[in-house]
């Protein structure tokens, strides 16, 4: 789906979403009630100091965590109402996640890591999954590492493989938490190039970063401070 | 297997070969034990039944004075009798390969051509023997160390010596193996037997009842019929009868407790294996917390993850079964062969029983899967956020125990830190402690059971306080015997006992088959009865019964007057006390005067017992030889001589089997328990690799890190030891009671093994040290960057 073909309602709709954690030291409000809409095809960077609530925010979007109150709608689904099982299944098909530390399963080869979400979600016929996984790896120029274990790859290669994995089920949304935090600047720039290409191809990307230079590569900036959005549209870049 | 989920399961199996091997070994041990025991029991039971019934065992055996010709035919013609066979019997002595004398039963069957009852089968050599030749029962050949072709010396009761040639061996399955009874069995011709000039010859008449031949009722009926309608009216005397458990071999009871013990230990081994599976899967799932979170983030549902991890447990079981099924079958063959040959049966073949295999499969797969279910369900229930955020540093448990430990003061810092670390993760600690405690409790209990068996043996042997027992072919003058013994150096005391066989007559007129009746002097110093109830006999008219008798005749109580028939005399006796079993079956005690008087043998004794001034088997053997020589030289018809050491040894051989098995199982269980601790401690340390890095980044030296972790391991080892010691008390009691009931039909004399307790402490500490040292040293050698970045 290209950007011109995106539907008019937001892909991501957060309404009065609040998150409070119970800790031994007492209650901690990671997110004050916030509202946020992200349209399909957007490339959004989420910035903020440590403890500002960035990771909590994207955990709400991916369903990794549940809001204490409020509503979270993603791709037309009220994910805040889903049980764990349905949430996992929804997440596999609708939200590809890229982690800072890659999080490739160490005992599976690179291509098997990419195949895993297809297997869990039951998408694509079993006989086609390996071919599709290799295609994705080729797109990110790591197909030659397909049968190696993650530990045998460089950081950049692992992250590219992780991005391929995040796209394995054809999810429309890509969520990345500090995707370049463990990479050198050159590799980080290359990853950003990949993200831009994906957005041009119709993907929606929400990326957490603390690096202003990387944030400028996105088309919109959301800044968080002390669990609140400072200004949702303060940095809308021409894209 | 291109499916990545199953590739992950395969990867987990391969990822830690040591852990996989440990779990597979443990499950395999338990499944092997179950298969071995079930298959061995099946083989032994079927072979004992088949082989025993194949020889046409008797319903009853009567030992009588020599029978006139035709008596056997008259018994055969009785309406309730299906078959009869007779053999002459002479008590004698035989010299073994080392020159030592042993008690002997010398038989002459009515014919060697055909056996209608209790078939004797040729094994090797001559068949039948010729005059001047004997055949030995195969169990006797082994014990005596003789070979066909040897010239053998046999001595009759009157001291006359018979030199014969051993020309072959036979298998007389009905007999109790020489190894256990201490008596040898030989078979010869009437002419050879006649060369032993003896008035003490007897006859055995074996009878098979016509209807339901192998019930006690039928056996008792034909016994009474034969005795009252034919034998005694013809003027012969029935000396004793054997109607214990017709259709069941006399030694079958030896195998049952062995199998029971193995059954108990097999179940315990399975429990250990289950605990190990729980512990291992728990550790595996904990170690894969991050991976679980990632898989859920990628779309994996909890049910899918549960199936993956339970499949892992099932594969552990499957691999274990590949080993356990053949190992169980082969082990069953070895065990059944050992047990069958022990009781003089032929070995069976290897069997693969579908029923046993099915049980092994159920145990080997269902049990690990069930054991893994709890940790898998817990581990996969974690949220994605918690899973991805928490791995590498353990969350601090803060339960009551952990808080109490934190308040401990006055200990060095590393010890304080180790103590707190130990109690931080309650579930992991509990799992480790459960497994190690169970292994330790079993280890200590097994050794305590061993000590209990030895204590019981000592108690039983201690019943008879004499050193040498001499039996005469017929009652002898007590004064003459004691005077003869007084001339032998080293003999410190002598008593004459009346010893008879008799029959208890129930109120309904039926009889209990013969019981052993002992008549020591009322003031005897050579018997030390252990009273269960009442008191010892003090004079004529009184009787004390043993626990075996009261078990078979539960209606008899202290204070009852019971009739006893002894050699035609009917005695009415008041039951004054009950004593413990001596493992020889139903026995009763009368005062000497109360037994010798009514049987017309006052002043005479068929048994003389002696004390000597030295201790030990060798001293007893020497004294026995001297007594036998002197008494024979003086013309006393000695039929058998037995030392206290020999009596103890006969019973001890039975116990030795169990004791050996127990020792082997204790070692195996120590290995399994130790491996479990090692595996669990290793995983405990590996999980905290990042913590270790943090500790080192704030100044902890390698040695300090090592110290903390090793102290933690030692604390767990000591804790488990204390719990094992406590648990071993009821467990040991349970095992002792079970084995006592099965083996002795009496409770064991309970003993607690201090060696077992402190031995396990040493094992626990050594294993805890080893299990923590290696991974801790590995972790302490990683760079800080490596450990903090560890995921």
Interhelix angle B302-342/B4-15, rounded to 10 degrees, is 50
Chain A within 8 Å of B2 (Cβ-Cβ)?
A: yes
Q: Which residues pair with B94 in a beta bridge?
A: B102, B154
Residue B672 is predicted with a pLDDT of 66
- From the list B14, B15, B298, the residue facing A120 with the nearest CB is B298
Query: What is the SS3 assignment for B573-590?
Result: EEEEEEECCCCCCCEEEE
Average of per-residue pLDDT across A131-150: 93
Chain A within 8 Å of B4 (Cβ-Cβ)?
A: yes
B788 pLDDT higher than 60: no
Provide the 8-state DSSP code for A17: E
Chain A within 8 Å of B786 (Cβ-Cβ)?
A: no
Q: Residues of B numbered 373-392 whose beta carbons fall under 8 angstroms of chain A's beta carbons: which are they?
A: 383-385, 388
Q: How far is A213 from chain B (nearest CA, A)?
A: 26
DSSP per position, B631-688: HHHTT--EEEEEEHHHHHHHHHHHHHHHHHHHHHHHHHHHHHHHHHHHHHHHHHHHHT
CA A122, A128, A131: angle at the middle one, nearest 5? 125
Chain B within 8 Å of A238 (Cβ-Cβ)?
A: no
Q: Are strands A173-177 and A95-98 parallel, antiparallel or unpaired?
A: parallel
> B344 by DSSP, 3-state: which?
coil
**Residue A22 pLDDT class (50, 70, 90 cuts):** confident
Beta-carbon separation of A89 and B8 below 8 A: no
Chain A within 8 Å of B5 (Cβ-Cβ)?
A: yes
Chain A within 8 Å of B399 (Cβ-Cβ)?
A: no
Residue B129 is predicted with a pLDDT of 94
Q: How far is A237 from chain B (nearest CA, A)?
A: 30
Strand blocks (E) in A79-198: 95-98, 173-177
Chain A within 8 Å of B539 (Cβ-Cβ)?
A: no
DSSP per position, A26-65: EEEEEEEEEEEEE-TT-EEEEEE-TTSSHHHHHHHHHTSS
Residue B676 is predicted with a pLDDT of 65
Positive or negative, the Cα torsion across B361, B366, B369, B371?
A: negative
Residue B686 is predicted with a pLDDT of 65
B119 pLDDT higher than 50: yes
B533 pLDDT higher than 70: yes
Residue A174 is predicted with a pLDDT of 94
For residues B464 and B549, what is the distance between their CA atoms, to the nearest angstrom? 18
pTM confidence score: 0.74
Task: Determine the CATH number of domain A3-103+173-236.
Answer: 3.40.50.300
Q: Residues of A numbered 32-61 whose beta carbons fall under 8 angstroms of chain B's beta carbons: which are they?
A: 59
Query: B696-751 pLDDT, tens per residue?
Result: 777 777 777 778 778 888 888 888 899 999 999 999 998 888 888 776 667 788 89
Mean confidence (pLDDT) of chain B: 85
Residue B405 is predicted with a pLDDT of 67
- What is the interface size between A and B, counted as CB pairs within 8 Å? 86
**Residue A235 pLDDT class (50, 70, 90 cuts):** very low
**Residue B395 pLDDT class (50, 70, 90 cuts):** very low
Beta-carbon separation of B297 and A93 below 8 A: no
Beta-carbon separation of B300 and A107 below 8 A: no
Chain B within 8 Å of A64 (Cβ-Cβ)?
A: yes
Chain B within 8 Å of A99 (Cβ-Cβ)?
A: yes
For residues B121 and B114, what is the distance between their CA atoms, to the nearest angstrom? 10
ipTM, 2 dp: 0.88
Query: B170-190 pLDDT, tens per residue?
Result: 999 999 888 877 889 999 999
Query: B639-678 pLDDT, tens per residue?
Result: 889 999 888 877 777 677 777 777 776 776 677 666 666 6
From chain B, the residues in CB contact with A117 under 8 A are 298-299
A5 pLDDT higher than 60: no
- Is the Cβ–Cβ distance between B430 and B458 less than 8 Å? no
Q: Which residues pair with B504 in a beta bridge?
A: B564
Beta-carbon separation of A120 and B290 below 8 A: no
């Amino acid at each position: 789906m290209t950007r011109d073909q995106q539907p008019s309602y937001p892909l991501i709709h957060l309404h009065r979403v609040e998150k409070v954690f119970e800790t031994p030291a007492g209650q901690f409000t990671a997110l004050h009630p916030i509202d946020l809409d992200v349209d399909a095809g957007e490339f959004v960077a989420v910035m903020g100091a440590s403890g500002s609530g960035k990771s909590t925010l994207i955990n709400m979007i991916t369903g990794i965590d549940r809001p204490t109150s409020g509503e979270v709608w993603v791709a037309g689904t009220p994910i805040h109402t889903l049980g764990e099982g349905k949430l996992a299944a929804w997440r596999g098909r609708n939200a590809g996640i890229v982690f800072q530390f890659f999080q490739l399963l160490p005992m599976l080869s690179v291509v098997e890591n990419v195949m895993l979400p297809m297997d869990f979600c039951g998408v694509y016929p079993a006989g086609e999954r390996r071919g599709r996984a290799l295609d994705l790896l080729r797109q990110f120029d790591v197909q030659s590492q397909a049968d190696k274990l993650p530990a045998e790859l460089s950081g950049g290669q692992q992250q590219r493989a992780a991005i391929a994995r995040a796209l394995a089920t054809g999810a429309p949304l890509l969520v990345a938490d500090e995707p370049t935090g463990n990479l050198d600047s050159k590799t980080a720039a290359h990853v950003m190039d990949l993200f831009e290409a994906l957005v041009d191809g119709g993907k929606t990307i929400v990326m957490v970063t603390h690096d202003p230079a990387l944030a400028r590569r996105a088309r919109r900036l959301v800044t968080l401070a002390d669990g609140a959005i400072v200004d949702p549209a303060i940095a809308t870049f021409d894209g | 297997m291109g499916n990545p989920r199953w590739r992950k399961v395969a990867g987990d199996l391969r990822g830690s070969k040591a852990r996989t091997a440990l779990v597979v070994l443990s499950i395999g041990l338990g499944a092997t034990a179950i298969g071995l025991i079930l298959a061995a029991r099946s083989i032994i039971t079927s072979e004992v039944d088949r082989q025993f019934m194949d020889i046409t065992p008797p319903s009853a055996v009567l030992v009588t004075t020599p029978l006139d010709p035709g008596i056997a035919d008259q018994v055969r013609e009785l309406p309730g009798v299906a078959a009869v066979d007779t053999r002459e019997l002479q008590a004698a002595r035989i010299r073994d390969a080392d020159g030592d004398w042993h008690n002997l039963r010398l038989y002459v069957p009515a014919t060697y051509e055909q056996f209608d009852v209790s078939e004797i089968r040729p094994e090797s050599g001559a068949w039948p023997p010729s005059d001047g030749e004997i055949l030995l029962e195969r169990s006797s050949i082994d014990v005596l160390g003789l070979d066909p072709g040897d010239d053998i010396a046999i001595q009759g009761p009157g001291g006359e010596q018979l030199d014969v040639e051993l020309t072959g061996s036979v298998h007389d399955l009905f007999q109790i193996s020489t190894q256990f009874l201490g008596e040898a069995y030989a078979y010869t011709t009437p002419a050879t037997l006649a060369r032993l000039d003896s008035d003490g010859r007897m006859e055995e008449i074996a009878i098979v009842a016509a209807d339901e031949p192998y019930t006690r009722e039928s056996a008792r009926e034909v016994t009474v019929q034969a005795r009252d309608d034919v034998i005694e009216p013809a003027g012969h005397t029935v000396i004793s009868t054997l109607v214990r458990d017709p259709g069941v071999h006399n030694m079958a009871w030896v195998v049952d407790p062995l199998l029971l013990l193995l059954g108990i230990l097999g179940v315990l081994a399975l429990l250990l294996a289950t605990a190990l599976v729980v512990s291992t899967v728990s550790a595996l799932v904990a170690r894969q917390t991050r991976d679980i979170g990632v898989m859920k983030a990628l779309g994996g549902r909890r049910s899918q993850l549960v199936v993956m991890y339970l499949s892992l447990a099932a594969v552990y079981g499957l691999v274990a079964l590949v080993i356990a099924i053949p190992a169980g079958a082969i082990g069953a063959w070895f065990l059944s062969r050992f047990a069958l040959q022990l009781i003089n049966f032929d070995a069976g073949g290897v069997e693969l029983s579908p029923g046993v295999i099915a049980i092994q499969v159920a145990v080997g797969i269902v049990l690990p899967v069930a054991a893994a279910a709890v940790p898998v369900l817990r581990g996969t229930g974690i949220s994605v956020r918690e899973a991805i955020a928490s791995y590498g540093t353990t969350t601090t448990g803060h339960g009551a125990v952990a808080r109490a430990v934190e308040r401990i003061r006055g200990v060095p810092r590393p010890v304080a830190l180790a103590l707190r670390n130990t109690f931080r993760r309650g579930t992991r600690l509990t799992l480790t402690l459960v497994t190690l405690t169970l292994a330790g409790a079993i280890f200590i209990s097994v050794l305590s059971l061993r000590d209990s068996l030895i204590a019981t043996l000592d108690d039983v042997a201690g019943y008879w306080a004499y050193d040498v027992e001499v039996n005469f072919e017929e009652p002898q003058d007590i004064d003459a015997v004691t005077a003869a013994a007084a001339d032998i150096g080293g003999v410190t005391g002598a008593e004459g006992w009346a010893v008879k066989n008799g029959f208890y007559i129930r109120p309904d007129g039926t009889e209990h088959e013969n019981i052993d009746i002992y008549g020591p002097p009322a003031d005897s110093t050579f018997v030390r009865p252990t009273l269960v109830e009442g008191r010892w006999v003090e004079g004529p008219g009184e009787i004390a019964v043993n626990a075996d008798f009261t078990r078979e005749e539960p209606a008899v109580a202290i204070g009852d007057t019971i009739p006893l028939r002894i050699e035609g005399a009917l005695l009415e006796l008041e039951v004054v006390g009950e004593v413990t079993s001596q493992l020889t079956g139903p026995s009763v005690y009368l005062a000497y005067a109360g037994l010798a008087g009514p049987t017309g043998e006052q002043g005479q004794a068929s048994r003389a017992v002696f004390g000597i001034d030295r201790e030990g088997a060798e001293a007893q053997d020497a004294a026995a030889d001297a007594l036998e020589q002197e008494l024979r030289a003086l013309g006393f018809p000695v039929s058998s001589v037995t030392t206290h050491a020999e009596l103890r040894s006969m019973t001890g051989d039975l116990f030795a089997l169990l004791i050996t098995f127990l020792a082997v199982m204790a070692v195996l269980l120590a290995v399994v328990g130790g491996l479990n601790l090692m595996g669990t401690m290793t995983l405990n340390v590996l999980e905290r690799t990042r913590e270790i890095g943090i500790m080192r980044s704030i100044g902890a030296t390698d040695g300090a890190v090592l110290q903390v972790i090793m102290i933690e391991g030692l604390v767990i080892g000591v804790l488990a030891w204390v719990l094992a010691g406590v648990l071993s008390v009821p467990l040991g009691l349970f095992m002792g009671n079970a084995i006592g009931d099965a083996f002795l039909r009496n409770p064991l004399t309970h003993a607690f093994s201090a060696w077992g307790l402190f031995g396990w402490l040493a094992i626990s500490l050594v294993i805890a040290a080893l299990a923590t040292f290696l991974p801790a040293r590995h972790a302490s050698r990683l760079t800080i960057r490596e450990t903090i970045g560890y995921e």
